[in-house]
Amino acid sequence: MTDAGPTRSGWSRRVALTTLTATSAAAALGGRATARSSGSGHHLPGHGGGEQSASGRLYEIRSGHHRALVGGVAATLLSWRVSGEEMLLTHPSDEVGEGFQGKTILPWPNRIDRGTYEFNGERLRVPINEPSRQAALHGLMNFVEWEPVRHRADSVSLRYLLHPQYGYPFRMAFLVEYSVDRHGVRCTLTAENAGEHEAPVGWANHTYIAAGTGGTDSMELRLPAATYYRTNERLIPTGTASVAGTEYDFRSGRTIGSTSMDTAFKDLARNRRGHATVRFGRTDGPDVLLWVDESYGYLQVYTDDAPSEQRPQPARSGITVEPNTCPPNAFVTGEAVRVLRPGERHTGTWGLLVPR
């Protein structure tokens, strides 16, 4: 069994500067763009809407048979419907929801063990929001509203400026764009160091795929990952192991059955474009493909085993395979954490498709 990651001295400083592909994106990160539409009044049937939504402002986007709904709070993907069928396990926009459904997770994904890490020789402490595991879970931006930059029929761009604070004394600018086309939905996130010192950052998205009749047990999953993370009882990684010969080997695709996962994976098989693809075989309705670009080297799989009593869906009604730029506890181990210099940006893209 190997260690979960390198020591602090192993933090990589070789982060490529990524140029934004759109002038509007550069302007947004620079704080000069304004919204063309607030998005109020645009919502899918069955969802709440308006300025007072618990999910913030709502932005509907559509193309062909695909319609999506984005909430401004946590830049959340609230809904993705294909020919009228909801593909996501989600919650109404006028409810807070649980399980981080659809949220954009920043500035770190998953857990920081005991909420304490070191960066450039300074010991930092962030609030513990998962007391049962003594962990700081899923960053600092789960209930903040992102500002609209541009809302078009088939896309919406949102931005957020995270100011320095106790435990994370860095100024970071974030821009996210959701778009839909005839194939599905795509999400591109850009992080920029807007401060004067180096800053660590990592991110994820927590969208769940609805399992359909039979629940998660009946779903087929093809997961192109060769390695998984072993964890202790608090879900903090203790090392890695090959999936070969274990219940976590879904490389060839198989029914999930009774396998329970809150498990991180890495060493992803990729195509010539550098994309790794996960396939969800649903028991009714079309299959779903999740693809991630090379910025996402990790996937966190959760089989939704323990929803709270307040949520209407039973356990194992869906599954999330979260695109992650770094693994759990990365701010402690340093593994794959992006360290951005002042003014430096990094961009990652993932998407959801219905195969032909």
Residue-wise pLDDT tens digits, 144-172: 999 999 999 999 999 999 999 999 999 99
Q: For residue 217, tell me if it sits in a domain.
A: yes
Q: Report the percentage of the chain scoring pLDDT > 70.
A: 84
Domain with 314, as residue range(s), is: 8-353
**Number of helical (H) and strand (E) elements in the chain, helices listed first:** 2, 28
Asked if residue 197 is part of any domain, the answer here is: yes
Decide if 129 is inside a domain: yes
Domain count within the chain: 1
Any domain includes 3: no
Average pLDDT over residues 135-143: 97
* Distance from the first to the final alpha carbon of the chain: 41
Domain assignment present for 1: no
pTM for this predicted structure: 0.86
Side-chain-facing half-sphere of 246: CA atoms under 13 Å: 17
CATH number for the domain spanning 247: value is 2.70.98.10
Residue 43 contacts residue 61 (beta carbons within 8 Å):
no
Phi, psi of 331 (to 5 degrees): -65, -20
Lowest mean pLDDT among 21-30, 124-133, 161-170: 21-30
